Amino acid sequence: MSQGTSALLLGSYRPGHTWLHRLPAGAKLVGLMLASVVVVTLRGPGTALGALAVSVAIVASSGMGLRLTLRALRGIVLVALLLAAFAAWQRNWALAVEQVADLVALVLLATVLTATTAVDAILDAITRGLRPLSRVGVNPERVALAFSLVLRAIPTTMEIAQETRAAARARGLERDPRALLTPMVIRSVAHARHTGEALHARGIGDD
């Protein structure tokens, strides 16, 4: 595994002294959840563009930098284009603008969370928040583990998608959906199986 890939798997945390870095991880998680609900609930391209503008302002105040921001957006370019084309074809361009703006806004906010908060702090906040639910059978540590795996799976899936697209382009098949989707699904499933086998070998997640 390359050094760049390892960095992605370990998260995109960047130490700093901004107000977002000083904000507790739990507060940022709650804020992200509330923002997600608001962005998804409110309708219309104007509202979506407003949410995107707020997200850009938060990114600017987080100290992420242009390079990390572009890296976060690079992984969703293809998804955003496909989503916009499908929405415009099925409905209209207003819906396409709304859905793409919502998607980009949420990706930027999630990236700010991981850029200003260490992964361990996020997992500790989740564990503390879920601990009262242990009385009804919820395992906070297992939920935190699942969340950690999701954080690591997202950039890996994006990397697989980029590599698959590059391979299809090299064969002149970039317009063939099967040349993009089939290898991506197979590699994603294989990665998930390898992750499960590694966890099982270490006795993690066993009852």
> Domain ends where: 85, 117, 149?
117
What whole-number distance in Å separates Cα of residue 52 and Cα of residue 46? 10
Q: Are residues 25 and 94 in the same domain?
A: yes
Residues 158 and 111 both lie in one domain? no
Cα angle 15, 18, 24 (rounded to 5 degrees) comes to 80
Task: Please determine, for residue 158, whether its predicted confidence score (pLDDT) is greater than 50.
Answer: yes
What's the CA gap between 64 and 14, in Å, rounded?
7
Question: How far is 64 from 43, CA to CA, in rounded Å?
Answer: 29
pLDDT at residue 150, rounded to an integer: 67
pLDDT at 149 over 80: no
The pLDDT value given to residue 34: 93
Q: Which residues contact 156 (CB under 8 A, 6 or more apart)?
A: 5, 8, 9, 191
Instruction: Note whether 105 and 206 are same-domain residues.
Output: no
How confident is the model at residue 78, as a pLDDT? 75
Residue in this structure with the two tokens 């000083």, named with its chain if needed? 22
DSSP state at residue 131: G
- Please identify, among 69, 97, 117, the residue that sits at the C-terminal boundary of a domain: 117
Name the band, by pLDDT with cuts 50, 70 and 90, for residue 154: low
Question: The tokens of 170 are what?
Answer: 């090299």
Q: Smallest Cα–Cα separation from 112: which of 72, 153, 74?
A: 72
Spell out the SS3 assignment of 112-124: HHHHHCCHHHHHH
46 shares its domain with 124: no
Does residue 177 share a domain with residue 145? yes
Distance of alpha carbon 87 from alpha carbon 1, whole angstroms: 37
Residues 74 and 21 in one domain: yes
Q: Are residues 83 and 139 in the same domain?
A: no
Joined together, the tokens standing for residue 158 give: 């994006």
Taking every pair of Cα atoms in the chain, the longest distance, rounded to a whole number of angstroms, is 57
Residue 205 has pLDDT above 80, yes or no: no
Query: How many helices and strands in the chain, by DSSP H and E?
Result: 10, 0
Whether the per-residue pLDDT at 120 is higher than 90: the answer is: no
Residues 101 and 122 in one domain: no
Predicted pLDDT of residue 174: 67
pLDDT band at 53, cuts 50/70/90? Answer: very high
Residue range(s) defining the domain that contains residue 69: 1-117
Residues 143 and 86 in one domain: no
More confident residue, 101 or 73: 101
| Average confidence (pLDDT) over 64-80 | 77
**Of 117, 141, 166, which residue is a domain's last?**
117
Q: What percent of the chain has pLDDT over 90?
A: 11
If one counts the domains in the chain, the total is 2
Calculate the average pLDDT of the chain: 78
Q: Do 125 and 180 fall within a single domain?
A: yes
Neighbours of 43 (CB within 10 A): 11
The answer to whether residue 80 scores a pLDDT higher than 50 is yes
Does residue 64 share a domain with residue 28?
yes
More confident: 197 or 54? 54
> Which tokens in the block code for residue 80?
């955003």
Q: What is the pLDDT of residue 50?
A: 93
Instruction: Check pLDDT > 80 for residue 47.
Output: yes
Of residues 101 and 13, more confidently modeled: 101
| Same-domain pairing of 111 and 38 | yes
Q: Name which of 180, 51, 29 is nearest 112 in CA terms.
A: 29
